[in-house]
Amino acid sequence: MASQLPAPIDRVLRLFRVDFAPAHRQPRTISVLIATVIAIGGSLAADALLVAIGPAVFPSTRGYVHFQIRDYGKLTVIGVVIACVAWPIVTRISSAPRWLFLRMAIAVTLVLWLPDVYILLRGQPPRAVAVLFVMHLAIAVVTYNCLVHIAKTRPLAAGNARTPAPGRHASQRR
């Protein structure tokens, strides 16, 4: 007999579509590894591109300390690896993993903007900090897309697929 969760916890889990009842198979380990490598490379490339564009658009940001690969590279790799570890977990706990993972990516990006806001308030150049904001956003977009498109969930075998309620298909066609 399964134990019931307290109503407030159950409501929060349902709100975030955490149902521990995925209607799909996990992504293959090799596809997660490939997505991870591509996400790291793509994120570092996006960072490098933005670090090149930033000073071209805002000459006052040339030489900004946080535009050095040693400054942003290690943090980018750590963040991408964490996201890539989270993706298979999300696919296991949710029947709507892309929905949940997108919202998680947005929330994490907003949290990662807090240090940027802090350094902005401490007097760092606004244009340089704006580039940092865009770098965080680019990393999130690259990583999310690599994971959901390369490390895809797979449909369950035909015999295991859930069948829709009777009459449901007819009402959806209208």
The answer on pLDDT for 161 being more than 80 is: no
Query: What tokens appear for 52 in the block?
Result: 């090149």
User: Rounded to whole angstroms, how far apart are CA atoms 72 and 77?
Assistant: 9
Rounded mean pLDDT of 94-112? 95
Provide the pLDDT for residue 21. Answer: 80
Q: Is the pLDDT of residue 79 over 50?
A: yes
- Rounded Cα gap, residues 77 and 99, in angstroms: 24
**What are the backbone dihedrals phi and psi of residue 110, each rounded to the nearest 5 degrees, phi first?**
-60, -40
The pLDDT of 63-70, averaged and rounded, is 94
112-126 per-position pLDDT tens digit = 999 999 999 999 999
Packed helices 97-121 and 126-150: angle between N→C axes, nearest 10 degrees:
170
Q: Tell me which of 21-30, 34-43, 87-96, 146-155 is least confident.
A: 21-30
5-16 average pLDDT score: 80
pLDDT at position 47 is 98
Give the pLDDT confidence score for residue 13 in this predicted structure: 78
| % of the chain exceeding 70 in pLDDT | 88
pLDDT, mean over the chain: 88
The b/e string for 115-146 (b: 16+ C-beta within 10 A; e otherwise) is ebeeebeeebeeebbbbbeebbbbbbebbbeb
pTM tops 0.75, yes or no = yes
Q: How many Cα atoms sit within 13 Å of 6 on the Cβ side?
A: 2
Domain ranges within the chain, ordered by starting residue: 24-156
Distance CA 83, CA 36 (A): 9
Confidence band of 158 (pLDDT split at 50, 70, 90): low
pLDDT band at 3; cut points 50, 70, 90: low
pLDDT at 170 over 50: no
What is the average pLDDT across 1-9? 72
What distance in Å separates the CA atoms of residue 83 and residue 64, rounded to the nearest whole number? Answer: 27
